[in-house]
A and B are shown apart, each in its own frame.
Chain A
Amino acid sequence: MLAGDEDARLIAGGQTLVPMLAMRLARPARLIDILRLPELAGIREERGAVVVGATTRQAQAERDSVIRALVPMLARALPWVGHPPTRNRGTIGGSIANADPSAEIPLVAITLGAEIMLATKSGSRSMPADDFFVGAMQTAIDQGECVSAIRFPVWPHQRLGVGFLEISARRSDFAFVAVAAQVALDEDGCCIDVALGLGGVGERPLRLKVSSLVGIKLDAASVSEAVNRALAEVEATSDLHASAAYRRRVAVTLCTRALEQARADASDKSREGLR
């Protein structure tokens, strides 16, 4: 249906699409409501991953015990997404497809190297999140395709910690800068693996290269050096709400703090209550 109709758009939660319709910024002739399609729903574990159906409500994912246990970064990010009422309707897939540069769920997908699965005219295909997010509100999705699920990799490590920070004008606004961090430590506190992602600063969320932190103890100096190096080439946008200089500077601050948050989280042996 979607493929055949250039003037049609998909609607699931509608939390980002409907405002655009109300303000007449988007003018589809038809809407195709996919919210109740069973094949797009559900959260399931696979080997090494958790697959979240596109129409999974954000509020549902927030409460889900599998996500909490296996994809803690997503669990930590979700309370920052919009407001409780928008999470009651908004979907994981919807946020991914919308591709707002400062949105939390795309940031988590990029940071963890998630795979975006698409339903196509002929069947299905998938691509890494890094390829999927092309620019501000722009994805590599083709006409007639639909995000069907997101495959979040699960880290097998015992001592796993996450950090998630963002800064915005008001508590639930789009972030000027958002940072997601995940670290795994060995028994001595050395970093075995690390992932760091940055949103809100440029046209799309970015995975930052901090592999130099693997094998060391994540002391403040090393973290600072790695973060500064990773951010050196990052371009920041300037708008009404925040200058480019602000974004670049605060990116450094939040990346550093998020990594510290993740390290502390991982060091803490009793891992109850991630929020």
Chain B
Amino acid sequence: MTADPAAFRFVSSNRRVREDRRFVAGRGHFVADVALEGMLHVAILPSPHPAARILSIDASAALAMPGVHYVLTGEELAAATDPLMNGLDTPKVQRRPLAVGQVRYAGEWVAAVVAETRALAEDALEGVDVIYEPLPFVIDAEEALAPGSSPVHSAHGSNVLLDRTFVWGEVEKHFAETPRQLSFRVTWGRSSTVPIETFGVAASWDPWREMLDVWASIQMPKYPDQIARALRIPANGVRVHQDVDVGGSYGVKRGIKQTVVVAHLARRLGRPVRLIEDRLENMGGGDAHGPDRIFDVEVAFNDDGIVRSMKMRALDNVGAYAGRAPFQLGKPIGAIVGPYRIESVQYRAQSVTSNKAVQEAVRGFGQAPTNYAIEAAIDKVAAAVGLDRIEIRRRNFIRKEQFPYLIPSGTTYDSGDYHTVVEKVLTHIDFPGLEAERDRLRATGLLAGVGIAACLEPSGGNSSFEPLLNENNSTTTWMDSCRVVVDALGFVTVTIHTTSSGQGHETLVATVIGEVLQIDPDLIRVVRPDSLNCLPSNSPVGSRMAIMLGGAAFHAAQKLKAKLLRIAAHQFGVGEDKAIYAAGSVTEPDSGKQLGWVEIVTIAHRNHHLLPQGMEPGLETTHVMQVPTGGKLPKDGRVQMYPCHSFEFHVVLMAIDPDLGKPEIRRYVIGHDCGTVINPHIVKGMTLGGIAHGLGAALLEEFVYNDEGQLITQSFMDYLLPSAHEVPEVEIVHHCTPSPHTVFGQKGSGESGYLGAPAAISAAVNDCVAPLGISFNKLPIRISAIGDAIADAQQRQSKPQEKSK
């Protein structure tokens, strides 16, 4: 599809995001706003030990306390429910919402106290007496990997959940043939996207209808299915209310263990039950941590800086249970060479358990850490051959004329024009001016440098990493859907079949349908039915909704338009090819006959005698769409991952006072190409928000476990979220290389900014300190570490006999 913005009426114009209206009035409808009569409240008793056997649980004191209704233990829950699902084929790594027999991380949920109010439930936590027998534990990934480490799941035998090596192309041959090599390690510290709203869920069981109603702050594909499975009830006995607003998720709100606890209690107690995590429960035991990953990378390159081959070992510490998180090692396979023409890749994906809290899907699903490693490689190659870091990227970039471009691991990148984006950014910045500014800062005694990062945002959410990493999984369908209804009075209502957490899906869909039907999007109402009234959806993950929801809406609207046209043509007595649809009316140019919207609608709804033979009355269309380019199983370790690939190019000017070590971003520019932009406000918001997340991951945020296996960053006093002071003003430079796979040429942008900002910001820090011979290879890079490293280097430099690092 061509995508000339001038050709669109509504797409690409800066229309207000309609969802904003209710939020600015304080009328969002979040799970904590759901009031159910007779609702009881849950508080969680966490484990104080990183690993221990549970010898006994005595809740008698708690049950005697005021307002307390029940205390649920893991044993009871395990008898009544099935374990939570794993992604990998690791049946001996069983995951339960409440610990059974053994706790495996400090903060793991051991018991759930149910009371009239949350405060009374918290009071009663003290009345639950648990006797533990501490066990050996392991926190560090490399220790967990080593044979002889205490397995977190003894039945599984080791801590290794996944150890799979892929070889795409003639890696050894390329390494042998290429004159130069280097190797390094970088570490992505454990952080997460930490939404301001914690996870919450309320459930209510209707025994007369045998229906479980669920309201949750959820962003989870196949949520109703997983609830049904766990609770051993029919899937059509689960009704998830998707009109609950979600206060931010960015991947992590999967909440299945919380939901199973609450659903079981609702059923058991015959009253609605609610759990809203408090911040401590959320940080320590909500199981929403992000990748925790060590990369060992080797690259083979020549004197011109062309990188021919790469070996990457990614060791990820998922925490005490498996779930879906290990797949975050698989998704990056779909862009394993980044935007570069690397010819062959060896990739070893290792996932280990440890006695830390559990990882969940975080924005990008592993792509941001992988981009950090790839960009570090490119920068190091540039330094090795003495080449400018932008020039080396130009030399290695896939060129515009090479698209669609097949990468060694089996994904074809749809489109891109990386060189043009870079040129646009450099022109916008006046790059020589930026370098002069850097030099001016240096002349004042500051350390100053520029960080560069170029990376892809794969989008479309085709989860073909599932069958790639688990041969028992044959999922190739990753669909989404939309329904358009025109009522008897001619008003348009659209249903979408997912929750949203701020991505503006209602606006997206109204814009697309308005564009197709050529009617004002503001007239289109978008609603979210509950899950029993939904068509299939896989929720907004993997930056997929612009592509998938936009696509489904487009096709549903096209079907509707076709029906309107057919009805009208039938009235005119001509073939459909002789009639023209425009802005809700249909005309037949030859005769000048015309039928307006209301007239056609009336015929559809009321005048069956006027309908074409065999046509269904009414005006309702649906479309269920498969992900473009998807639908095939992996072969020989290769598969098409996501369909579309957005591109971003970050340039960061940074200054560091050498005596204080505090990095300060002086300028931040991002070039962003996500194809056709359906709503500019939304895309801008995603990009700026993603950069803020990335800044946190690069400089501030970490879930730190001490040697005793305790999480010492459990509140916002120690887990530092960027405020308006920390996030710089960001300049966005746009480019549009449409995707051939989508209806308007749109690509995803839900993960934009986050996928490249950590790489760019850490590169900026490293460029600042490079003259001192130091570099940082672990995120986050804290002020104290920068200060100490600078001081050490300055001391070394002042001693002429000692070599600098």
A171 to B720, CA, bound (A): 11
For residue B659, CB closer than 8 A to chain A, the reply is yes
A167 to B784, CA, bound (A): 10
Whether the pair B280, A176 counts as a contact (CB closer than 8 A) is: no
Chain B residue, CB-CB nearest to A174:
B717
Contacts of A167 in B (CB 8 A): 660, 662, 783
**Most A Cβ at <10 Å: residue of B662, B704, B787, B791:** B787
In-complex Cβ contact of B725 among A19, A171, A245 (8 A): A171
Given contacts A172-B725, A240-B704, contact A246 B661 (CB under 8 A): yes
Chain A residue, CB-CB nearest to B658:
A253
Whether the pair B791, A253 counts as a contact (CB closer than 8 A) is: no
Chain A residue, CB-CB nearest to B704:
A240
For residue B713, CB closer than 8 A to chain A, the reply is yes
For residue A173, CB closer than 8 A to chain B, the reply is yes
In-complex Cβ contact of A249 among B122, B280, B715, B791 (8 A): B791
Whether the pair B784, A24 counts as a contact (CB closer than 8 A) is: no
Contacts of A192 in B (CB 8 A): none
Distance of A78 from chain B, by nearest CB (Å): 17
B residues 572-612 in Cβ contact with A at 8 Å: none
A249 to B783, CA, bound (A): 13
In-complex Cβ contact of B784 among A19, A170, A172, A176 (8 A): A176
Contacts of B704 in A (CB 8 A): 240
Chain B residue, CB-CB nearest to A27:
B126
A173 to B660, CA, bound (A): 16
Chain B residue, CB-CB nearest to A83:
B723
Whether the pair B726, A170 counts as a contact (CB closer than 8 A) is: yes
Given contacts A23-B280, A23-B715, A167-B662, contact A241 B782 (CB under 8 A): yes
Contact pattern, B 712-739, Cβ under 8 Å of A = 1, otherwise 0: 1101011010110110000000000000
Contacts of B700 in A (CB 8 A): 169-170
In-complex Cβ contact of A169 among B122, B280, B782, B791 (8 A): B782
Whether the pair B713, A169 counts as a contact (CB closer than 8 A) is: no
Chain A residue, CB-CB nearest to B721:
A170
Contacts of B280 in A (CB 8 A): 23
Contacts of A249 in B (CB 8 A): 659, 787, 791
Given contacts A170-B725, A241-B784, A242-B784, contact A250 B712 (CB under 8 A): no
Whether the pair B662, A245 counts as a contact (CB closer than 8 A) is: no
Contact-residue size bin, chain A (C-beta under 8 Å from the other chain): 20 to 34
Contact pattern, B 762-787, Cβ under 8 Å of A = 1, otherwise 0: 00000000000000000000111001
Distance of A117 from chain B, by nearest CB (Å): 30
B residues 659-675 in Cβ contact with A at 8 Å: 659-662
Whether the pair B784, A246 counts as a contact (CB closer than 8 A) is: yes
Whether the pair B725, A246 counts as a contact (CB closer than 8 A) is: no
Distance of A250 from chain B, by nearest CB (Å): 6
Interface size counted on chain B using CB atoms at 8 A: 24
For residue B788, CB closer than 8 A to chain A, the reply is yes
Given contacts A23-B280, A241-B782, contact A171 B787 (CB under 8 A): no
Contacts of B782 in A (CB 8 A): 169, 241-242
The prevalent SS among residues of A at the interface is loop
Whether the pair B718, A242 counts as a contact (CB closer than 8 A) is: no
Contacts of B715 in A (CB 8 A): 23
Chain A residue, CB-CB nearest to B792:
A245
Contacts of B787 in A (CB 8 A): 246, 249-250
Contacts of A24 in B (CB 8 A): 122
A249 to B790, CA, bound (A): 11
A246 to B658, CA, bound (A): 12
A170 to B783, CA, bound (A): 10
Distance of A255 from chain B, by nearest CB (Å): 12
A23 to B125, CA, bound (A): 13
Contact pattern, A 2-23, Cβ under 8 Å of B = 1, otherwise 0: 0000000000000000010001
For residue A243, CB closer than 8 A to chain B, the reply is yes
Distance of B115 from chain A, by nearest CB (Å): 15
Given contacts A176-B784, A246-B784, contact A170 B722 (CB under 8 A): yes
In-complex Cβ contact of A253 among B659, B717, B720 (8 A): B659
Given contacts A23-B715, A167-B783, A170-B720, contact A250 B660 (CB under 8 A): yes
A250 to B788, CA, bound (A): 10
Whether the pair B718, A250 counts as a contact (CB closer than 8 A) is: no
Whether the pair B720, A173 counts as a contact (CB closer than 8 A) is: yes
Whether the pair A243, B784 counts as a contact (CB closer than 8 A) is: yes
**Most B Cβ at <10 Å: residue of A176, A242, A243, A246:** A246
Distance of A37 from chain B, by nearest CB (Å): 28
Contacts of B784 in A (CB 8 A): 176, 241-243, 246
Distance of B175 from chain A, by nearest CB (Å): 40
Distance of B596 from chain A, by nearest CB (Å): 56
A10 to B661, CA, bound (A): 39
Contacts of A240 in B (CB 8 A): 704, 712-713, 718
A176 to B660, CA, bound (A): 11
Distance of B711 from chain A, by nearest CB (Å): 11
Chain B residue, CB-CB nearest to A254:
B660
Chain A residue, CB-CB nearest to B718:
A240
A residues 153-182 in Cβ contact with B at 8 Å: 167, 169-174, 176
Contacts of A250 in B (CB 8 A): 659-661, 787
A253 to B783, CA, bound (A): 15
Contact pattern, A 199-243, Cβ under 8 Å of B = 1, otherwise 0: 000000000000000000000000000000000000000001111
Whether the pair A171, B122 counts as a contact (CB closer than 8 A) is: no
Contacts of A170 in B (CB 8 A): 700, 720, 722-723, 725-726
Contacts of A23 in B (CB 8 A): 280, 715
A23 to B717, CA, bound (A): 12
A110 to B527, CA, bound (A): 61
A174 to B787, CA, bound (A): 18
Task: List 26 A–B pairs whose Cβ atoms lie within 8 Å, in order of A's numbering.
Answer: A23-B280, A167-B660, A167-B662, A167-B783, A169-B700, A169-B782, A169-B783, A170-B720, A170-B722, A170-B726, A171-B725, A172-B723, A172-B725, A173-B720, A240-B718, A241-B718, A242-B782, A242-B783, A243-B784, A246-B661, A246-B787, A249-B659, A249-B787, A250-B659, A250-B661, A253-B659
Q: A241-B782, A253-B660 are in contact. List 10 more A-B contacts (CB 8 A).
A: A167-B783, A170-B723, A240-B712, A242-B783, A242-B784, A245-B788, A245-B791, A246-B783, A246-B784, A250-B660
8 A-B pairs closest in CB distance: A171-B725, A242-B784, A253-B659, A246-B784, A246-B787, A243-B784, A169-B720, A167-B660
Name A residues whose Cβ lies closer than 8 Å to a Cβ of B: 19, 23-24, 167, 169-174, 176, 240-243, 245-246, 249-250, 253
